[in-house]
Amino acid sequence: MLPFLRESRLKGDELAALVSKEHCYAAAYHAIAILERVGVISAGKQSAIEPHALARSHVECLAGTANWVAAARAQESRRPDRLFDDPLAGQLAGEGGFGWIAKRAHWVDGLAIRTRFFDDFLRDATRSGAIRQVVSLASGLDIRAWCLDWPEGVRILELDRQVVLAKKLHTADTAGYRGCPHATFISADLTAGWTHLLLDERLGFDPAEPTAWLLEGLLVYLERHHVERLLDDVAELSTTGSRLGIDLVSGSVLDPRRNFLWLKELREQGCPWRFGTDEPAALLECQGWDASVVALEEAERRYGRSSSDSPMQGSYYRFVTAYRKRCDR
């Protein structure tokens, strides 16, 4: 293949189309960009990859991770002892999601436990009536807006990439889940300015009211400065009594000397893990949150599961919930 590429006058899009017969389209872009960077292939002065194509491919790769989680939810929903039932997960996951999970069965339990943990977090946060608005950042293909038993009057605002939200809304609509009047779906790039979209007064979000925030399955894919900016923005919009749920991997997992095979695979698939911390509570406490940390193992015990062969075993993976203390906004 490489001699062919050297002689080739194909553009990046055409190269990616060829390679994508073997791999997903977005991963193909990523692989070609790496080959160019290390000098294995060269397209002269100008890259074969248009910068916008690479950016688009990165969005597609990250959007694809929502299919993986949906596939895990579909598998969990089939178990007699399921932790939840997600009737649309199978359709939403599609071939891409099931293909990924088929080779990584050991991820399924951890993802299912995560879903249930944050279902419970959201139920608990809204149950007392003190919190009536929920903001899910990078909501992916979860269908909590339709299926979680929200108390009367709770509003849900979901933000994710347009391609992900469009797929979810289309699938829900086709399956007969018409209308979700208490939910609003906002297409956004959470690494760029997004708060103005949420603050659009027509959407009904009120920063003076407490909010339940969820950032599930997102932070690990972001650069540290994007994580810090995102958490700053969330803190800025959170009044006293707000609650926050996030999941975090340990920073030590990402140490290149550990050389985990599954991290390499994620890089090759175009969605590398980028952020982790060994001080999950401190990350939030410095911004005025009271944080509690639950390691995956503890959550497994809570739900009567064990994913001892999970890549995330050994307290590397944590769920953090936080309560906003008095803040002078």
Ligand X SMILES: C[S@@+](CC[C@H](N)C(=O)[O-])C[C@H]1O[C@@H](n2cnc3c(N)ncnc32)[C@H](O)[C@@H]1O
Least distance in angstroms from the C-beta of 137 to ligand X: 7
> Distance between CA atoms of 73 and 288, rounded to whole angstroms?
33
Quick check: 69 binds ligand X (CB under 6 A)? yes
Quick check: 212 binds ligand X (CB under 6 A)? no
Least distance in angstroms from the C-beta of 193 to ligand X: 11
For ligand X, how many residues bind (rule: CB under 6 A)?
A: 21
Alpha carbon separation from 118 to 202, 212, 231 (Å, rounded):
28, 11, 18
Quick check: 191 binds ligand X (CB under 6 A)? yes
Going through the chain in order, the beta strands assigned E by DSSP cover 133-137, 155-160, 183-187, 211-215, 243-249, 289-295, 317-324
Residue among 48 and 63 whose Cβ is closer to ligand X = 63
Could you identify the residue written with the tokens 């299912």?
112
Among 109, 160, 297, 300, binds ligand X (CB under 6 A): 160
- Give the count of alpha carbons within 13 A of 207, CB side only: 16
Quick check: 139 binds ligand X (CB under 6 A)? yes
> Distance between CA atoms of 160 and 142, rounded to whole angstroms?
11
Residue among 48 and 234 whose Cβ is closer to ligand X = 234
Quick check: 295 binds ligand X (CB under 6 A)? no
Quick check: 71 binds ligand X (CB under 6 A)? no
The answer to whether 296 and 248 are in contact (CB under 8 A) is no
The region of 44-52, 81-89, 125-133, 189-197 touching ligand X under the rule CB under 6 A is 189-197
Quick check: 143 binds ligand X (CB under 6 A)? no
Could you identify the residue written with the tokens 């920063």?
207
The region of 43-51, 159-167, 234-242, 257-265 touching ligand X under the rule CB under 6 A is 159-167
Least distance in angstroms from the C-beta of 76 to ligand X: 12
Quick check: 30 binds ligand X (CB under 6 A)? no
The answer to whether 211 and 237 are in contact (CB under 8 A) is yes
Least distance in angstroms from the C-beta of 143 to ligand X: 10
Among 29, 30, 65, 237, binds ligand X (CB under 6 A): 65
Quick check: 161 binds ligand X (CB under 6 A)? yes
Alpha carbon separation from 95 to 70, 92, 99, 101, 223 (Å, rounded):
11, 9, 6, 10, 29
Residue among 15 and 24 whose Cβ is closer to ligand X = 24
Least distance in angstroms from the C-beta of 163 to ligand X: 8
For strands 243-249 and 183-187, give the pairing. unpaired
Among 27, 71, 125, 138, binds ligand X (CB under 6 A): 138
Quick check: 230 binds ligand X (CB under 6 A)? no
CA 52 from centre of chain: 22
Edge to edge, the sheet with strand 243-249 lists 183-187, 155-160, 133-137, 211-215, 243-249, 317-324, 289-295
SS3 194: coil
Among 27, 113, 164, 231, binds ligand X (CB under 6 A): 164
Least distance in angstroms from the C-beta of 98 to ligand X: 15
Quick check: 297 binds ligand X (CB under 6 A)? no
Among 12, 97, 140, 280, binds ligand X (CB under 6 A): 140
Cα distance from N-terminal residue to C-terminal residue, the chain: 60
The answer to whether 188 and 160 are in contact (CB under 8 A) is yes
Binding residues (CB under 6 A) for ligand X: these are 62-63, 65-66, 69, 138-142, 160-161, 164, 188-191, 216-218, 221
